[in-house]
């Protein structure tokens, strides 16, 4: 069975070949900071030992020191946690999917905490490309769709724009993809 439909293969090729432009005003990182403009394309997967936590509706939805982060040019890192460290009983896979030209087809998840329902609160890759096998079935969460998200105790800010799921900490400088005018990044 083919991994992708013909339309998905065309979409992957289009995004992989998309000519990216570096903005004029890239922030120079300070001591202990990273620039998202030093991250690679295709993205890199890195082990994370800092505690990653996601809170929703008074519940710790995810808490793990066994995660990964994916770093890609222009975007803040996206943090992935193993399902064993996620309250899976409050999540339900949806029929929605998204295509990443590098990682593959993602499945979205909806959270139900009490009467609160948050559609597409996160995503996972059940069958990622081999280079991203480490994050197979790990979950990533949109920090802008939860009550709070933390890395090593630091509250994160969501990546601008709502489409991407990057986590901005004090250790990351941009500008970040998703801001107005960043469509060509």
Which DSSP string corresponds to the chain? --SS-HHHHHHHHHHHHPPP---S-PPPP-TT-EEGGGS-SS-EEEEE-S-EEEEETTEEEEEESSEEEEEETTEEEEEEE-GGGB-GGGEEEEEEEEEETTTEEEEEEEEEETTEEEEEEEEEBSS--GGGGGGBT-EEE-GGGSSEEEETTEEPEEPTTSSS--EE-TTEES--BTBTT-TT-
- Could you tell me the two tokens for 10? 């065309």
Mean pLDDT in order along the chain per 10 residues (185 residues): 83 88 90 96 97 97 98 96 98 93 96 96 97 97 98 97 92 92 82
Give the model's pLDDT for residue 1.
45
Burial (0-12, 13-18, 19+ Cβ within 10 Å), 125: buried
Tokens of 20: 């990216």
At 2 the pLDDT is 57
Structural domains of the chain, with CATH: 38-173 (2.170.150.40)
126: number of Cβ within 10 Å: 12
| Overall size of the chain counted in residues | 185
CA dihedral sign, ordered 113, 127, 20, 183: negative
Per-residue pLDDT at 52: 98
């Amino acid at each position: 069975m083919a991994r992708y439909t013909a339309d998905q293969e065309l979409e992957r090729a289009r995004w992989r070949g998309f000519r990216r432009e570096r903005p004029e005003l890239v922030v120079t990182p300070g001591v202990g900071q990273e620039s998202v403009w030093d991250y690679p394309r295709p993205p890199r997967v890195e082990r994370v030992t800092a505690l990653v936590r996601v809170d929703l509706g008074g519940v710790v939805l995810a808490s793990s020191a066994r995660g990964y982060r994916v770093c890609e040019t222009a975007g803040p890192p996206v943090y992935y946690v193993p399902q064993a460290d996620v309250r899976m009983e409050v999540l339900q896979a949806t029929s929605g999917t998204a295509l990443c030209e590098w990682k593959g087809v993602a499945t979205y998840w909806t959270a139900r905490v009490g009467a609160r329902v948050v559609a597409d609160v996160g995503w996972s890759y059940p069958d990622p490309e081999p280079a991203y096998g480490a994050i197979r079935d790990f979950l990533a969460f949109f920090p802008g769709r939860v009550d709070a998200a933390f890395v090593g105790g630091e509250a994160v800010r969501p990546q601008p724009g709502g489409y991407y799921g990057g986590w901005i900490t004090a250790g990351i400088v941009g500008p970040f993809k998703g801001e107005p005018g960043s469509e060509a990044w």
